[in-house]
Structure 1
Amino acid sequence: MRTFPKSRVDALTDGIFAFAMTLLVLELRLPPELPVHDSAALIAQLRALTPQYLAYVISFFVLAAQWRGAIELRRAEETTREALSWWTLYLFFITSVPFSTSVVGRHGDLAPAVWLYAANMIAVATLSLRLRMLEVLPEHRERASAGNLRIWLFIVTALLSIVASLIVPGHAMYAYFLNFLSWPLSRWRRLES
């Protein structure tokens, strides 16, 4: 079985995450031709950026959590051709996050924008689970289960955002804030085991 140096996969992964996280913030801008003549007008325009900023915050922390999960438990020095193929697909969806963030930031009051974002997030999370199965060493699998719980909660919140988009699309992105429960749930699960 042919293997590849893990350091090369890690370098590509770090670069893609850094670039994707940086691209997110470029969507946050006031139009240059905007006539702002006083503080009240500027505050009003900044408030109008709230949907884009919300999408940025969610996406930034999603990417940060995915990056942390990608580096957390991997200890092997090499990766297989199969894992490399899965990494490539995973990184494709990571690079798609700025686009889906842009769409939901600008059109989050429309259900299809929420669906696109949720589909991107579900793809990232599902591929993350697959990579954890391939890359986590057997002696770290029990520790990895806490990370898997966080990933499953993330998938559930993406699905909840889809359901919410059918009722109140403009508020569907708030479902992702349920992911803040993942840390106490993981800690509770570790205490139980």
Structure 2
Amino acid sequence: MPEPASCTGSLIPKDRVTTLVDAIYAFSMTLLVTTIDVPSKYEHVKVAAPVQAIINSILPDLIHYFIAFTILAILWYFHHQQFRHLAGLNRTLLVTTMISLSFVCLLPFSTNIAGDYPYDVLGAIIFELDIFVIGLVTLVQWYYLRKRSAVLVPGLEPDRIEREIVWSWVFPLLSILGIAIALAGLNWSPGVYFLAPLIMAYLYRKAEV
């Protein structure tokens, strides 16, 4: 049942939470670059092509950096789309947002583990579980907003909410696929996230038709 309109006055203003979300996403995206471990120049003074050797050694880090950065950019966009329509946050939305942000802060760590040990199944699963939780929280929030749209997102059309729910399924499903690939003993399971921009482009194009 929708909450009565009188509940609107008890909502938490979204401005400060929006600022916090933007700051944490920006910080995490910036911190990702520290997951690229460039060796000291003194370790390569006798190598004929030191830069090439360095690039070869950090290639897994670079790949995971770009995967994680792209994921964070898309997830930030999801938050932006959600918060721009919110009249305010109740306690449930605030708590779930804090849970999501805690895993966003964790992403540089899980990216570092996966990048440093690209052939380790557990490292890949930690990375994919991190993204799974962030994506799952976003998905749960949209289902919650659908039930309470009259109070929390009064200006958002039902078909737009359904579209956001469809988009929010992408990362949980890709994460499950990645974990299944890792458990099957195949390397580079985080590569499944390269499908995310393609899927998003397809869904966006389909929605615009």
* TM-score, normalised with respect to structure 1: 0.88
Q: CA deviation at 1:36?
A: 3.9
Partner of residue 139 from structure 2, selected from 120, 129, 132: 129
Greater shift in the superposed pair: 99-108 or 27-36? 27-36
* Structure 2 residue 16 is the aligned partner of structure 1 residue 8: yes
Q: Aligned pair in 2 of structure 1 residues 148, 34: CA closer, same or farther (>3 Å)?
A: farther
- Secondary structure of 1:13's counterpart equals helix
CA distance in 2, matches of 1:140, 1:23: 37
> Which ranges of structure 2 fall in alignment gaps of 5 or more residues?
1-6, 146-151
In 1, are the aligned partners of 2:87 and 2:153 still within 8 Å (CA)?
Answer: no
TM-score after normalising by structure 2:
0.82
Q: Distance in 2 between matches of 1:118 and 1:157?
A: 9
Q: Deviations over 1:61-99 (max 9, x none)?
A: 111111111011432342111111111111111111111
Residues paired across the two proteins, number = 192
CA contact (8 A) 1:165 1:172 kept: yes
Deviation (angstroms), 1:169: 3.9
Which of 171, 175, 191 matches 1:158?
Answer: 175
Pairing partner for 2:116 from 102, 106, 128? 106
- Distance of aligned partners of 1:6 and 1:162 in 2 relative to their CA distance in 1, 3 Å threshold: same
Q: Distance in 1 between matches of 2:183 and 2:86?
A: 44
Bigger CA radius of gyration: 2
Amino acid at match of 2:153: L
Work out the CA distance in 1 between the residues paired with 2:164 and 2:39: 40
Please state how far the C-alpha of 1:37 moved relative to its aligned partner: 4.8
- Give identity over the alignment, percent: 24
User: How large is the Cα RMSD of the aligned pairs?
Assistant: 2.1
Question: What corresponds to 2:73 in structure 1?
Answer: 64
The answer to whether residue 62 in structure 2 is matched with residue 53 in structure 1 is: yes
What is the distance in 2 between the residues matched to 1:140 and 1:55? 37
Structure 1 residue ranges without an equivalent (≥5): none
- Cα distance change on mapping 1:38 and 1:141 into 2, 3 Å: farther
Contact 2:142 2:164 in 1 (8 A): no
